[in-house]
Amino acid sequence: MNNSFSSELLSWFADHGRHDLPWQSDKTPYKVWVSEIMLQQTQVATVIPYFKRFMARFPSLEDLALAEEDQVLHQWTGLGYYARARNLHKTAQIIHHEMKGQFPDTVEELTALPGIGRSTAGGIIASSMNKHAVILDGNVKRVLCRYLCLEGWPDQPATNKKLWEHAEKFTPAENFAEFNQAIMDLGASLCSKSNPACEMCPLKDGCKAFKTGRATEFPHKKPKKKLPVKATTMLVLQNPHSTSVLLEKRPPSGIWGGLWSLPEISVNTSPDSFLLVHGLKKQAEEERWQPIRHTFSHYHLDITPVLISLEKSPDAVMEKGRWHWYDLQSPGQLGLAAPVKKLLDALAQKI
């Protein structure tokens, strides 16, 4: 069964697969690794422009390792899941400084590095090093769950274990890199999450879900939980002598870790309290904007922006490394939280 599975899939891939993605030409472990990290929980169409800009800015692992974290996060702004960028940067530094620039070539070595899981390691090794390795990303899980009518949410330990066993079985001894790309492409196209084009699928003759008319039932979904709602107030503090807004660097861990954001206070705290603590004075009444909602994987965050024009430039606030005056007309290369960037862009248009 597995010989038929791989041969039919590879035959389909030759004619219908994606062969011209930017990370598929002049393959190196570095390029494939960056693409694999960007593609985690992000669609190919979204990743392509980010990948091209990232490679133009950091063309080699050494360039990435020697860059400042802010420069890396700036290139990642808008792509989301920023821990990926921080781990990418940390891993580049480890390989450059501790491994003398030698990229690891085993799944075990790669998975010991920040941000690289078993499937990502397999993708890097198979695609860039021509060594047999297996992958199991979201697209692959969907294809296998449907093909086998596999019960259970894919990320449950027992179900995940079965999926790895089947992925190992189906991955051929030869043409494994093409097979890995083929099964991902199938999951991203014909075997998509909604409205799968089963009649056109090269695997339909062996697919249990197709035979029983149950394709849309698989993979089983994670039991839904109602997302809680949190609220915060972001202070948009304007410098009276320029087009600058005060930003604060967030702690390295947690939501938006290491990114620059607007200072936050709780919804029950008066902006005047923040100003008093930092020795600041406003020159007019604050302007409270309509709240905006930003949704994370595990909660909604309702953000109320409050625009405050300061009476004078607060030099005392400029504690090195924590605060930054962000010029709306000439922004630097900083990593910004997505809703913060939207707010700053909206403010820049008003100037």
Is residue 201 a contact partner of residue 213, using CB atoms and an 8 Å limit?
A: no
Output the six-digit token pair for 58. 């950091």
Q: How far apart are CA 48 and CA 37, in angstroms?
A: 12
Q: Please say if 36 is a catalytic residue.
A: yes
Q: How far is CA 172 from CA 1, 10, 88, 138, 183, in A?
A: 12, 10, 30, 20, 12
Catalytic residue among 8, 36, 68, 151: 36
How distant is the alpha carbon of residue 217 from its chain centre?
A: 27
Report the distance separating Cα 128 and Cα 28, nearest Å: 6
Question: Given the structure tokens 């902006």, which residue do they identify?
Answer: 271
Residues sharing a CB contact under 8 Å with residue 105, sequence separation 6 or more, in sequence order: 29, 125, 129, 131
Neighbours of 208 (CB within 10 A): 15
Query: Residues with catalytic annotation?
Result: 36
